[in-house]
Amino acid sequence: MSSLKKWFAKTFPPEFPVRAERRPTPGLIAIHPSGGTSKAGAIRDLSETGMYLVTEERWPRGVSVPLTLTCLEKTEEVSAVHCPVEARAVRTGQDGVGLQFVFSEGTDLWLWKKAHEAEPKRIIEEFRATRALVFLSKICPYASHEIELLFSEGLSNTQIANVVEVTIRAEQLRDLDPDRHRSIASEQLLLPIIKHASWAEIKQTRELWAGLLASSCSLDGRDLSNAKFLKVLCELATIHARVLVYACTMATKIVSASGNVSALPLICTARELSEITGAHDLIKIDRNLLQLFDLGLIPTRLKSQFFSFSEDANITPTPFALEFFARCSGHRGSPHDFYETTNRSYPVVAVQR
């Protein structure tokens, strides 16, 4: 039905195109380029096709202007009230510039479905959701219908917010790939990633899902090598993720002459583990460490019957854990390349011969 409507609209265009509804948007601002820096300007009014930005800038008509929509509200998740948007200048006014949004073909932005969606935060959420849908459909066009169904029927509002955060972060990571405009992902990876990422409770876990989504893209879309990492990431709860991220970040890496990456021993006291995990139940922490061992992410340890504050724990990441973390950071190449190029954050020692 939608394709028929689009065909009818193109074949019999209205004599006078309907102007998109504009609404004032107090509290909504746009960060825009200004010389060699960035400035923030108030958005006087907004429609589903463009906006009027109050600014001293006067960009020539047709010039592309990268914007970041944000608002004055304070939330726990800073990224939740920011959204990058592409626009082009279409007219100038006495106190600003009229801008038209640049969307991919087939993009639908619905800002005024409900009265409360005129609020700045709700507007940005709609832009973020639209951006996420466009990106997911672009990297996996064969699954676009299933993706839309998940957003419209299959996921709760909280789950959608998680998927949107993961997707936008994945897009940022994929932008670092020189082949980003040609790489796609298999629906065998993308759909499970979306579904499982929607349940991610903490930002660290969502970051891992974003990296896995980004590294699941390849030139032909047939690379399923991330399937084994997907299986592991599905098993990681909050404590698992916090321990693993800490271990892979803080452990000193050793690169062999053949390029294999391993880590020097990383030992933590029970009190340090409590700080890392944010948990005080040592039995629960101990159980999570055993599960990380079962997943092949840390080595086994000799321990007494009960884990206590007087004991230390070996959380050295295994070579598989280091490879897993590299993939979940959006890296598709070898672990050696990942840790060598990011050695400021992930210390690497001299090569072993």
pLDDT at residue 23 in the model? 83
Q: Which amino acid type is present at position 19?
A: R
Entry pTM? 0.82
| Domain 21-101, CATH | 2.40.10.220
Check if the beta carbon of residue 219 is closer than 8 Å to that of residue 182.
yes
SS3 69: strand
Strand partners, 40: 31
Q: Residue 10 has what pLDDT?
A: 47
For residue range 241-283, what is the model confidence (pLDDT) as tens digits? Answer: 999 999 999 999 988 767 789 999 999 998 999 999 999 898 8
DSSP string, 90-141: EEE-SSEEEEEE---TT------SSGGGGSHHHHHHHHHHHHHHHHHHHH-G
Structure tokens at 293: 């061992």
The count of C-alpha atoms lying within 13 angstroms of the C-alpha of 41, restricted to the half-sphere facing its C-beta, is 22
CA 342 → CA 125, 249, 347, distances in Å? 32, 10, 8
- Extract the tokens encoding 61: 């008509």
What pLDDT shows up at residue 180? 74
Q: Encode burial over 269-298: b for 16+ CB neighbours within 10 A, e otherwise.
A: ebeebbebbeeeebeebbebbebbbebebb
Single-letter amino acid, residue 180: R
> Are the beta carbons of 129 and 139 closer than 8 angstroms?
no
CATH number of 238-352: 1.10.10
Binned average pLDDT, 10 residues per bin, the chain of 353 residues:
45 49 86 90 90 94 93 61 90 93 72 61 87 91 89 89 95 84 91 96 96 94 94 96 96 82 92 93 91 93 56 91 96 87 51 43
Position 102 scores a pLDDT of 87
pLDDT of residue 17: 44
Is the Cα dihedral 65, 71, 72, 77 positive or negative?
negative
Domain chopping of the chain, boundaries? 21-101, 140-233, 238-352
The closest of 295, 238, 236, 292 to 268, measured between CA atoms, is 292
185: tokens are: 């992902």
**3 state SS of 184:** strand
Whether residue 277 contacts residue 243, with contact meaning beta carbons closer than 8 Å, is answered with yes
Q: What is the distance in angstroms between the CA of the first residue and the CA of the last residue of the chain? A: 66
Alpha-helical segments (H) within the chain: 2-11, 120-139, 144-149, 157-174, 187-197, 203-215, 227-233, 238-250, 270-277, 282-294, 319-327, 335-341
Q: What is the pLDDT of residue 21?
A: 77
- The predicted pLDDT at position 7 comes to 42
Whole-number pLDDT of residue 307: 57
* pLDDT number for residue 114: 54
